[in-house]
């Protein structure tokens, strides 16, 4: 089934306890695309870069199943730039610099060939832009997933809340869930947020896994315990890309299939953090991915038949 | 199979965002006993209290399957007292007061009827006392589980390390694992710690679940997402009590049975935090416990056959 994503295509500059990069390929849209394309043949992307964006990066995207017809290249414009630093606790990061550049006046034009998409992934971006994309689609997709972050909550909460009424799944981290709901308990936060519109809520907890809420159901997907988390940049986007990529590939939006989708997302995210930026995702083989999925099965599966457990 | 535990029997005074208690029944040994006795008929305990310890508390323990023959009552002595405060992040607590009292010169006398135990749970206590109990047993138990904490690492690391060479399973939390191993990554920490003696390592992560390491295997048991964590005091001991209680009840120390034991421990711990102190564990019915186990199954179980997942 056809999958459309919007999200930033960017330059990142990253510092971790393990090292420091120059300007490298990054952006939510990039990570979502690289991840989802491990599961579906083609990911259509609507995004924007400046004329400083290297043709090699576009080639990397194309070579990995990302269709870049919807990627606008702005003459005289500069690509969105983010720079950040992580300490040993990779769950916390400090933003050193953000330059919106071409993102500021980005008009998300959806090419006709991208219309009638079945699955829509709205990567973290201005909520106004996310809303505009939904409104521009000729028909409503079967499933709309939205990712956002504290930055947009701080700046544009009213339009973000409007946009939330239009989506099926919201994907945010634990501190964002607390900010959005004004509740500390994630179970309470989930109830408040689902009343805002999304019928499904994914709360990402970084190295502590992710929770999926729907009505009274809850599912927990673990993160794989890793020797080293080298660079967590893009892990959340990779997770979201794997989630929607699996749903689009199987075309099944039941809760039990969403569980499987979450595990696929977690497995892909566990690779993203092994090297700087997109490096590991670009190299990832199908064999490695299958092996990692098996590790997730072994990590959490147990056999308890409750009626005769003791 | 017979189960012996040592661990504090204490007075606790607790402050949380939800309220404040006076002196109530607490202690690692108490929580371990109340938890394990949901799974085995009898838990033998070796511990000590002062003459200020109310007979009603001893009755609560006896009524819940804890044999108190090994519980010494010290004439003129005062019971171990701990007081602490939690903020909204229940993973962090501040100790307001600790009075070792009768614990300071505690000589752990093992009654003859407690000898030849098959399972030994060494609750968090002076490592010298834990070591003494192992040495006083006529035969080595089938499985020895040791729990400890940062307090004992700060004060008595050398004897703690000696004691670790004598046990099978070490049960500590994530920050304690980092302190003991001097490694930040829990996967690396596990390797360092298992080289110190214990063949199995459980790392408790509070609301983020628990990990079980053994050789190259790792298993993750989730914590149940709760509306409110009312009071986390004793959750780790309740978890450990459920773990060893299940192993003693089933008399099977295979890795796959340890997984089940971990889930039972997690389920019991999820009750312990619902009310102050031991209150919820004392009221807990078998039906509630079975229902909670079923919730754990639903929380993490998914069906992915890796060979044809996509």
| DSSP per-residue codes, A154-213 | HHHHHHHHHHHTT-SEEEEEHHHHHHHH--SSHHHHHHHHHTTS-SEEEEE-GGG-EEEE
Measured in angstroms, the CA of B266 and the nearest CA of chain A are apart by 13
Residues 40-99 of B with CB under 8 A from A: 88
**Number of C-beta neighbours around residue A213 at 10 A:** 24
Task: Tell whether the model's pLDDT for residue B308 goes beyond 70.
Answer: no
For the stretch B21-66, pLDDT in tens is: 999 999 999 999 999 999 999 999 999 999 999 999 999 999 999 9
- Predicted TM-score (pTM) of the model is 0.94
Interface check for A39 against chain B (CB to CB < 8 A): the answer is: yes
Facing A246 at nearest CB: one of B263, B294, B310 = B310
pLDDT, residue B36, reads 98
CA atoms within 13 A on the CB side of A222: 29
Interface check for A178 against chain B (CB to CB < 8 A): the answer is: no
Give me chain B's average pLDDT, please: 95
For the stretch B82-125, pLDDT in tens is: 999 998 877 778 999 999 999 999 999 999 999 999 999 999 99
| Contact flag A260-B88 (C-beta cutoff 8 Å) | no
CB contacts of B183 in chain A (<8 Å) are none
| DSSP per-residue codes, B64-104 | TTEE-TTEEEETT----EEEEEE-SSTT-EEEEEEE-GGGT
Question: pLDDT band for position B10 (50/70/90)?
Answer: very high
Q: Number of residue pairs across A and B with CB atoms under 8 Å? A: 110
Facing A304 at nearest CB: one of B187, B188, B293 = B293
| Contact flag A303-B260 (C-beta cutoff 8 Å) | yes
CB contacts of B294 in chain A (<8 Å) are 306
For the stretch A164-223, pLDDT in tens is: 999 999 999 999 999 999 999 999 999 999 999 999 999 999 999 999 999 999 999 999
Residues 205-224 of B with CB under 8 A from A: 205, 208-209, 211, 217-220, 222
For the stretch B223-275, pLDDT in tens is: 999 998 899 999 999 999 999 999 999 999 999 999 999 999 999 999 999 99
* Angle at the Cα of A202 from the Cα atoms of B224 and A172, rounded to 5 degrees: 115
The pair of three-digit structure tokens given for residue B46, joined into one six-digit string: 């070796």
Residue-range domain boundaries for chain A = 28-74+107-301
| Contact flag B300-A185 (C-beta cutoff 8 Å) | no
CB contacts of B229 in chain A (<8 Å) are 185
**Candidates 3.40.1190.20, 3.30.360.10, 3.40.50.1820, 3.40.50.1100; CATH matching A28-74+107-301:** 3.40.1190.20
Task: List chain A residues with pLDDT less than 70.
Answer: 306-310
C-alpha distances in angstroms, A231 versus B157, B246, B277? 34, 39, 41
pLDDT, residue A307, reads 53
Minimal-distance CA residue of chain B relative to A289: B306
pLDDT, residue A308, reads 44
CB contacts of B297 in chain A (<8 Å) are 304, 306
| Contact flag B299-A220 (C-beta cutoff 8 Å) | yes
Task: Tell whether the model's pLDDT for residue B309 goes beyond 80.
Answer: no
Q: How is domain B3-303 classified at the architecture level of CATH? A: 3-Layer(aba) Sandwich (3.40)
Kind of pairing between the strands at B3-6 and B81-86: unpaired
pLDDT, residue B310, reads 44
Minimal-distance CA residue of chain B relative to A189: B227
What ipTM does the predicted assembly reach?
0.91
Facing B220 at nearest CB: one of A186, A219, A222 = A222
């Amino acid at each position: 089934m056809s999958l459309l994503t919007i999200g930033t295509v960017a330059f990142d500059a990253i510092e971790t306890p393990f090292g420091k990069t120059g300007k490298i390929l990054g952006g939510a849209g990039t990570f979502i695309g690289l991840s989802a394309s491990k599961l579906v043949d083609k990911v259509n992307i609507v995004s924007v870069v400046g004329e400083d964006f290297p043709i090699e990066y576009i080639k990397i995207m194309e070579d990995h199943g990302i269709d870049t017809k919807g990627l606008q290249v702005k003459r005289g414009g500069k690509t969105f730039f983010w720079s950040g630093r992580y300490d040993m606790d990779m769950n916390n990061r400090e933003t050193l610099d953000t330059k919106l550049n071409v993102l500021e006046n980005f008009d998300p034009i959806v090419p006709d060939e991208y219309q009638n998409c079945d699955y829509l992934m709205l990567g973290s971006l201005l909520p106004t832009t996310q809303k505009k994309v939904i409104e521009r689609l000729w028909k409503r997709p079967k499933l709309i997933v939205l990712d956002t972050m504290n930055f947009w909550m701080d700046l544009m909460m009213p339009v973000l809340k409007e946009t939330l009424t239009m989506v099926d799944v919201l994907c945010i981290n634990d501190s964002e869930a607390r900010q959005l709901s004004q509740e500390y308990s994630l179970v309470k936060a989930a109830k408040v947020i689902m009343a805002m519109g999304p019928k499904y809520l994914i709360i990402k907890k970084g190295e502590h896994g992710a929770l999926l809420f729907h009505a009274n159901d809850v599912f927990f997907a673990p993160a794989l315990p890793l020797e080293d988390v080298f660079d967590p940049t893009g892990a959340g986007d990779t997770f979201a890309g794997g989630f929607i990529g699996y749903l689009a590939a199987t075309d099944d939006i039941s809760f039990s299939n969403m569980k499987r989708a979450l595990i696929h997302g977690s497995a892909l995210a566990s690779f993203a953090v092994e090297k700087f930026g997109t490096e590991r995702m670009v190299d990832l083989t199908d064999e490695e991915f299958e092996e990692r999925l098996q590790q997730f099965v072994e990590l959490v599966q147990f056999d308890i038949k409750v009626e005769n457990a003791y």
